Amino acid sequence: MAYKWIISDIDGCLSPEGSYGWNWENFKLLVDFFNSRKKRNGKYPVPLILCTGRPQPYVEVWAKILDLRAPLICENGAVIYYLPTNTSIFGPGITIEKIEGLRKVRRYIEMKVLPSYPDVVYQFGKEAQISLFSENPEVFGKIKEEILDFVGRLGGPELVIQPSHFYLNISLAGVNKGEAIKMVYDEVGINKMECVGIGDTLGDLPLRENVVFFACPNNAQTEVKEVADYVSPYSDMLGVLDILKLDEFKEVWGE
């Protein structure tokens, strides 16, 4: 199989999941790998598409570091970012009505939920998704119940609420990484049979369904490892490097 593109999550893959400083030696290895294999000609010098829950400003930094010119997926598919034009658009499935409903949910969380959970922090910078951070994610189950109760009384919008390692991601139903990937495929002119995916949490399972080969670092959740074609013995950055160096990926880099 000739793989031509890599689609990767960021947190837990290209970078560690936890809130602490990166291992810069490992990060340099990762950046050097991409730079050494950058294609000098063509519209997309680095065949990497980021597919993350992170907001656009964070993705923009990664895009500039690695010179990523393909459309990049932010907020778990709710936003698509383009480095060459420094512009963003909403992903497939987003409507003004859904955004207005999500804003009501946000106000409820800020006014009614967060005061009861001092260890939970709202993640700023998102436009079409809500994420809450806590180093004590066991509280997420109760918070999810409270949000769903409010949405039921409000009469919508329909939400998908899913925890990762330290985040509770609150997304609009029908808006996910999988649908965004299909949109990006059409723009770039590729299909799933040419693409490899890298992820580590349940939110990356739509990615699994839209690539021909799926791999994960050793820190991935058990449910992700169970559906992976390859599980690296290494974690996050080093795990991704290990994956990228598989013999199967040589054609991605023109080797």
**DSSP notation for 180-214:** HHHHHHHHHT--GGGEEEE--SGGGHHHHTTSSEE
> Quick check: 248 and 1 in contact, CB under 8 A?
yes
> Quick check: 5 and 194 in contact, CB under 8 A?
yes
Would you put residue 174 in left (φ > 0), alpha (ψ -120 to 50) or beta? left
Would you put residue 167 in left (φ > 0), alpha (ψ -120 to 50) or beta? beta
Q: Over its length of 255 residues, how does the chain's per-residue pLDDT go in tens digits?
A: 578 999 999 999 999 988 889 999 999 999 999 999 998 878 999 999 999 999 999 999 999 999 999 999 999 999 999 999 999 999 999 999 999 999 999 999 999 999 999 999 999 999 999 999 999 999 999 999 999 999 999 999 999 998 877 889 999 999 999 999 999 999 999 999 999 999 999 889 999 999 999 999 999 999 999 999 999 999 999 999 999 999 888 888 876
Tokens representing 66? 């690695």
> Quick check: 243 and 230 in contact, CB under 8 A?
yes
Is the four-CA dihedral 57, 137, 107, 157 of positive or negative sign? positive
Three-state DSSP class for residue 173: coil
> Quick check: 52 and 40 in contact, CB under 8 A?
no
Tokens representing 8? 């990767």
What's residue 251's pLDDT? 83
Give the gyration radius of the chain's Cα atoms. Answer: 18
What's residue 164's pLDDT? 77
Class of domain 5-92+175-249: alpha beta
What's residue 20's pLDDT? 86
- 250, amino acid identity: K
Cβ neighbours, 10 Å, residue 133: 15
β-pair partners for 80 = 73, 89
Three-state DSSP class for residue 93: coil
What's residue 46's pLDDT? 95
Domain chopping of the chain, boundaries: 5-92+175-249, 96-172
Task: State the Cα–Cα distance between residues 156 and 170, nearest whole angstrom.
Answer: 13
Mind listing the pLDDT tens digit for each residue in 101-123?
A: 999 999 999 999 999 999 999 99
Could you please state the CATH topology (level 3) that the domain comprising 96-172 is classified under: Hypothetical Protein Ta0175; Chain: A, domain 2 (3.90.1070)
Q: Tell me, yes or no, if the pTM score tops 0.85.
A: yes
